Amino acid sequence: MIKIISFFLCFFISNIAFAEDDALRKIMEKTYPELTVKSIKKTDYNDLYEVFIGSQIIYTNDNFDFLIVEGRVVDPKTKIDLTEIRLEELTRVNFNDLPLSDAIKVVKGNGKRKIAIFSDVDCPYCKKLEKKELSKIDNITIYTFLYPLNIHPEAEEKSKKIWCAKDRAKAWSEYILNDRLPKNSGDCKTPLNKIVKLAEDLGISSTPTIILPNGRLVRGTVPYEKLEENLQ
C-alpha cells in the first residue's frame, strides 16, 4: 500500500511540475516569440527556474516576473559554478551523430584521436587556434565544419571556394595559415546551409567551437596543453 501511495504521489507531483513548466513556457513564448526554449527545469534554489535556450541558461520564476540573464549559480561552499556544469550537460552532443561527411577531414599521424571544429574562415581566433595550438597536436583526426558567420561578409564565398577545391584539406590549410584561396568559382554543391542549421540546433553561435569525442563543447581558442588534457 505504501509503495502504491508513493507511486501516485510522485506521479501527481511530476504532473504539477510539468503543468508549471508548460505554463511558464507559454508565457515566455508569448513575451519573447523569437526565443527558442529548449527546456525548463525548476531548480533547488527557492522558486528559481532554469530555462535553456540553446547556448545559454537564463533564470526566472514560475510567473516570469523577472529575468536573470548571464547570471551564474555558484555553490558558496565548494565555489563550483553550477550553471557551467548544467550548461555542459545540456549542450553535450553525440559525436557519432555528427554529419562528418560534411566536414573537411585532416588526419595527422595515426589519426586515432578525433575532434570536430566549427570554424569561420575569417575568424581571427580560428586562425590562432590552427596556427598556435592545433599545429602542436599529433595523432589526431580533425573534422572542420565551415561555418561562415554574418559578421564576416566574405566568409561564405571563401568557404564555397575551399569546399569546391579538389583537395579540401589542403585548400583549408592554405587559406587559414597563409591567406591563399583556391582558384575556382565556388559554384559546386556545398553543405554550408546544412552546417548553419546544425550549428543552430546545437546552440553553437561563435567560432571556433570544438566538439570533443565525449560530446562536450569547448568554445574559443584552447591552449594546446588544455586540449591535450581534454583529449585524455
Do 181 and 142 lie in one domain? The reply is yes
Task: Provide the domain count of the chain.
Answer: 2
Do 218 and 132 lie in one domain? The reply is yes
CATH code for the domain in which residue 175 is found: 3.40.30.10
Do 184 and 203 lie in one domain? The reply is yes
What local confidence, expressed as pLDDT, does residue 20 receive? 60
Domain region containing 57: 2-89
Per-residue pLDDT of the chain (232 residues; tens, 9 = 90+): 544 444 333 433 344 444 568 888 888 888 888 888 888 988 888 888 989 887 788 899 888 888 888 888 888 889 988 888 888 888 888 999 999 999 999 999 999 999 999 999 999 999 999 999 999 999 999 999 999 999 999 999 999 999 999 999 999 999 999 999 999 988 999 999 999 999 988 889 899 999 999 999 998 898 989 988 888 8
CATH code for the domain in which residue 6 is found: 3.10.450.70
Helices 168-178 and 155-163: angle between axes, nearest 10 degrees: 140
Q: What secondary structure letter does DSSP report for 110?
A: T
Q: How far apart are CA 219 and CA 52, in angstroms?
A: 18
Out of 89, 118, 139, a domain closes at 89
Do 171 and 102 lie in one domain? The reply is yes
Output the pTM of the full model: 0.77
Out of 65, 89, 113, a domain closes at 89
Out of 89, 108, 130, a domain closes at 89
What local confidence, expressed as pLDDT, does residue 17 receive? 46
Q: Give a three-class secondary structure readout of 25-45.
A: HHHHHHHCCCCCCCEEEECCC
Do 138 and 116 lie in one domain? The reply is yes
Do 8 and 34 lie in one domain? The reply is yes
Q: How far apart are CA 36 and CA 57, in angstroms?
A: 12
